[in-house]
Structure 1
């Protein structure tokens, strides 16, 4: 097929970091978080050196401008997966540098607009978010379907960040509404019917036992099944009301620990009764600034980076 590029692009600096012509037609979009409020020019400079070994098709700066670094006809080096990048248009989006890697409203609005443009030019009428790695990678899209994938499925990364990850269902719904022409006169997406999903956790799509338009029906289903919650389309818990774990006294300290496993969870507080941030420490040496007792571990330590707490059962004090 003949590939085209987005007319939304206002800055172009083509990177040498790509694999040439795609071996698969485009049927995926993979949005990323830059982990920084990078301008289009800065992102172009990042992808210029061949030593960087990284690139993307498009980037969205904090001001909403769109940059192009690899043409759509070519496979970018963006998702730590050759198979994914051969068929995906990859988009780096300016974000905060810390969890949950929030993107401003301008970036999100342009991401929606860019996804609509990508779908239209590639003959797609629907953008799909399945919310599950295995289900998505085993799914064969219809000729008019585009599928969302994420970097964290292919590498030990939090990308695209929890802020955007929780909104991918909303992104898919808004893009699909635009593609179907259900928009208001102002050009904004018309309100879509809210679906309340009953799951054990938002990330565990396989655990879903129902989706309801009426919130009371979703609440009833959750009450009938222990351990289940009700989530809105953006992945926020709406029932039962989130309880705040009891605060545990912590002690200030300062020492280094060595973590030898790649997937040590970072939590929002000292205990397994606190939510995971969606990040992992990775292997390395880290500074602990506070200690606290808590559920699920002998002792918890707060990371100096401020990203959260880790179980010290999996860390060796240096």
Structure 2
């Protein structure tokens, strides 16, 4: 096929770090987080040395500008998976340097536009987020479908960060709607997991919420998550799930607040920390080690002690 590049590009610095022309047509998009609020020029300099052994097709700088570092016809070195990079357009996005590696709104809005453009130029009318590694990698997209994948599926990384991971469904639905497609493959699935980020703990995925709740009730400590990673139900363990406009934000000032698998110090730490910042809480539960209770992070990363967080 004839490959083209995005007209949204305002800066180009082609990297030598690529494998030449693709051996697979484009049917995936893989957004990444840079872990730095950098410009498209800085990204270009990062990918320029051959010693870096890394690149991406596009980058979105902190101001929302788009840079190109590997033309779409070529395979970038971005996802720790040659098979994924052969068929994916990879996009590095400026982000915060600490979890959940949030994007500025201008970056996210540009990501939506860039994904729309990539889909349109490659003859796609739907962008799909299937929300599960096994299902996604085993899925054969129809000729008009583009599929979202993430770096964390191929390497021990959090990329694209919990902030973006929780918005993959939103990205897919917004792009599909703008393209005029019908997101038939994106019907609501309710997944039963310990946390949203712990896909290996998944007990099942259900079309019917009542069935998902029943599964969670049989597995204490498990919750039901919608397709965007939002906890909509927690098994009967005393948790108060907060929905919709009742969610609230907290500010964490300490850089090394543990995230735990459950609401208490009797639950294992995930090995990750919040970092300082503002986080959204979707459930509150009393538990060992925090007199103010434990808050469940909207990202699905786990629970934090509210003794160390101030409501904002």
**Residues 26, 87 of structure 2: 8 Å contact kept:** yes
State the secondary structure of the residue aligned to 1:75.
Answer: strand
Larger radius of gyration: 1
**Residues 198, 211 of structure 1: 8 Å contact kept:** no
When normalised by structure 2's length, the TM-score is 0.71
2:71 maps to which residue? 71
2:125 maps to which residue? 125
Paired with 1:125 and 1:4, the residues of 2 have a C-alpha distance of 17
Deviation at 1:277, TM superposition (A): 6.5
The range that moved more, 26-35 or 134-143, is 134-143
The range that moved more, 270-279 or 79-88, is 270-279
CA offsets, 1:78-134, max 9 Å, x none? 111111111100000000111111111111111111111101110111111122222
1:211 maps to which residue? 207
Unaligned runs of 5+ in 1: 183-192, 244-265, 280-293, 296-307, 310-318
1:47 aligned onto 2:55: no
RMSD of equivalent CA atoms? 3.2
State the secondary structure of the residue aligned to 1:6.
Answer: coil
Paired with 1:272 and 1:73, the residues of 2 have a C-alpha distance of 51
Corresponding pairs, count:
250
Paired with 1:73 and 1:180, the residues of 2 have a C-alpha distance of 26
CA offsets, 1:138-177, max 9 Å, x none? 2111111111111111112111111111111111111111
State the secondary structure of the residue aligned to 2:207.
Answer: strand
CA offsets, 1:249-295, max 9 Å, x none? xxxxxxxxxxxxxxxxx95158463673668xxxxxxxxxxxxxx89
- Which one of 186, 190, 206 corresponds to residue 197 of structure 1? 190
1:25 maps to which residue? 25
Paired with 1:71 and 1:242, the residues of 2 have a C-alpha distance of 49
1:298 maps to which residue? none
1:235 maps to which residue? 229
Q: Residues 137, 223 of structure 1: CA spacing in aligned structure 2 closer, same or farther, 3 A cutoff?
A: closer
State the secondary structure of the residue aligned to 1:130.
Answer: coil
Once the two structures are superposed, the pairs formed by residues 175-194 of structure 1 within 5 Å of their partners are 175-180=175-180
1:252 maps to which residue? none
State the secondary structure of the residue aligned to 2:26.
Answer: coil
Deviation at 1:226, TM superposition (A): 3.8
CA offsets, 1:174-229, max 9 Å, x none? 111111179xxxxxxxxxx99472422434385334235xx7x5786467544442
**Residues 27, 147 of structure 1: 8 Å contact kept:** yes
Q: Residues 194, 105 of structure 1: CA spacing in aligned structure 2 closer, same or farther, 3 A cutoff?
A: farther
Paired with 2:109 and 2:19, the residues of 1 have a C-alpha distance of 30
Once the two structures are superposed, the pairs formed by residues 52-63 of structure 1 within 5 Å of their partners are 52-63=52-63
1:170 aligned onto 2:161: no
1:268 maps to which residue? 259
Paired with 2:33 and 2:22, the residues of 1 have a C-alpha distance of 23
State the secondary structure of the residue aligned to 2:123.
Answer: coil
**Residues 100, 277 of structure 1: 8 Å contact kept:** no
**Residues 222, 229 of structure 1: 8 Å contact kept:** no
**Residues 196, 230 of structure 1: 8 Å contact kept:** no
State the secondary structure of the residue aligned to 1:268.
Answer: strand
Paired with 1:218 and 1:108, the residues of 2 have a C-alpha distance of 34
**Residues 192, 212 of structure 2: 8 Å contact kept:** no
Q: Residues 275, 171 of structure 1: CA spacing in aligned structure 2 closer, same or farther, 3 A cutoff?
A: farther
Unaligned runs of 5+ in 2: 242-256, 274-287, 290-301, 304-312
Once the two structures are superposed, the pairs formed by residues 83-94 of structure 1 within 5 Å of their partners are 83-94=83-94
1:312 maps to which residue? none
